Structure 1
């Protein structure tokens, strides 16, 4: 990061899996990292339910206070991947749709807005701040028939990233999106992960022959947070083993 002082990053959904790997990778670059989870505990940790707009706003306020008044990098990683078959009741299907968009897209938009507003008021030379959104291959390829809402939310996150990049590059605000494919974020290992996603057959659609590892996504996120050149702002980076090539 270009700031002389030790920069601070807020990483949502960083109590486990991809988010935990991202937090550790950014911390290894010399950042102070504030971690977020629904029930997370510990130093430099903030618990908040991103399904609640009020808690999302409080997450930002608490993180800024913990950081001494400024967040330099925001990584929107938190999300849910929950099925909502179309043959559910109308009320259930709509509730799941709203929950998915609230957590996967609207909370990221809410935090991004707060970050951009801070960076516009308190610019740093040469870079004011960096935004990294963890989207998904589903943004471009779509997802299963039970996950219309997830694909729509991730497509919205990519579009939001591009919009922020175009609107605020002149103010030193950089924005990047990362689109992973299947990533083994389980605690048990790849065998259990494959079983949870329908079995080893899904590998037939991945030319690399395996799903991604959290450390791979984390390496990309840390690069965007710390080292990506300003001219790269607005980039969408794929990490799907060539299962979808744009």
Structure 2
């Protein structure tokens, strides 16, 4: 990145991976604004199930960051079971897609337009999932599909705008010790799932955050389009 102060927007920053990313980025040459649904702890509030929420968040972040955003980190996501026989299956599918993929796409679009308008380089870091490649449980079709879409979108952005200095990266964590993963591990039998991870444990949020920080600030331009796995060798491509 340039020597000037880097301005970064991170979604889903109230806990888990997003909170760890913000904490990893707080340093002298970086100014970070985070988002959460409720907007607690000085975070900007944005409920991505509401029409226009992504655009409003972008404008509020620009105001907070002196009119410039250099890096977008899309981390906000929903991971809830959606059994095939559920009466509200389609509603649950749409909600997950809206939060995990559509809101991220809206913000990516705004970021690319912003970078182009100012004729400046910029970076996008999308937090996807191992599920994008491996798939997920029978109750999580929607989650796997949303993360697969995020990876495809990231690759498309990287290919389309690299000549303009607009770089895009995707990170695909496996199980990470967040509130969502803890509930899932407990419900699915943690010991059995851990046995499928050669490393013998799930990732810590700080580990994923260190990868996100690298992509946001230090990764060389030739890495654009890269999809980085962090799953303890539970899925190796």
TM-score bucket (shorter structure): over 0.9
Cross-structure match for 2:159:
166
Does the CA-based 8 Å contact 1:165-1:233 persist in structure 2?
A: yes
Unaligned runs of 5+ in 2: none
SS of the residue 1:86 aligns to: coil
Q: Does 1:100 align with 2:96?
A: yes
> Shift of the alpha carbon at 1:198?
2.7
Q: CA–CA distance in 2 between the matches of 1:235 and 1:191?
A: 28
Unaligned runs of 5+ in 1: none
Deviation string 1:124-154 (CA, Å, 9 cap, x unpaired) is 3xxx100000000000000000000000000
Cross-structure match for 1:178:
171
Q: CA–CA distance in 2 between the matches of 1:191 and 1:114?
A: 33
Cross-structure match for 2:60:
62
Q: CA–CA distance in 2 between the matches of 1:36 and 1:196?
A: 28
Q: CA–CA distance in 2 between the matches of 1:139 and 1:114?
A: 24
Cross-structure match for 2:141:
148
Does the CA-based 8 Å contact 1:22-1:219 persist in structure 2?
A: yes
Q: Does 1:201 align with 2:192?
A: yes
Output aligned runs, 1:164-243, within 5 Å.
Answer: 164-186=157-179, 194-243=185-234
Cross-structure match for 1:111:
107
Aligned residues: 237
Deviation string 1:21-69 (CA, Å, 9 cap, x unpaired) is 01111223731110100112344x2111011231221001100111111
Moved over 3 A (4+): 190-194
Q: CA–CA distance in 1 between the matches of 2:215 and 2:158?
A: 13
Q: CA–CA distance in 2 between the matches of 1:122 and 1:198?
A: 50
Cross-structure match for 1:133:
126
Which one of 49, 62, 73 corresponds to residue 75 of structure 1? Answer: 73
Does the CA-based 8 Å contact 2:170-2:227 persist in structure 1?
A: yes
Q: CA–CA distance in 2 between the matches of 1:197 and 1:131?
A: 33
> Shift of the alpha carbon at 1:186?
3.1
Does the CA-based 8 Å contact 1:207-1:243 persist in structure 2?
A: yes
Q: CA–CA distance in 2 between the matches of 1:173 and 1:212?
A: 29
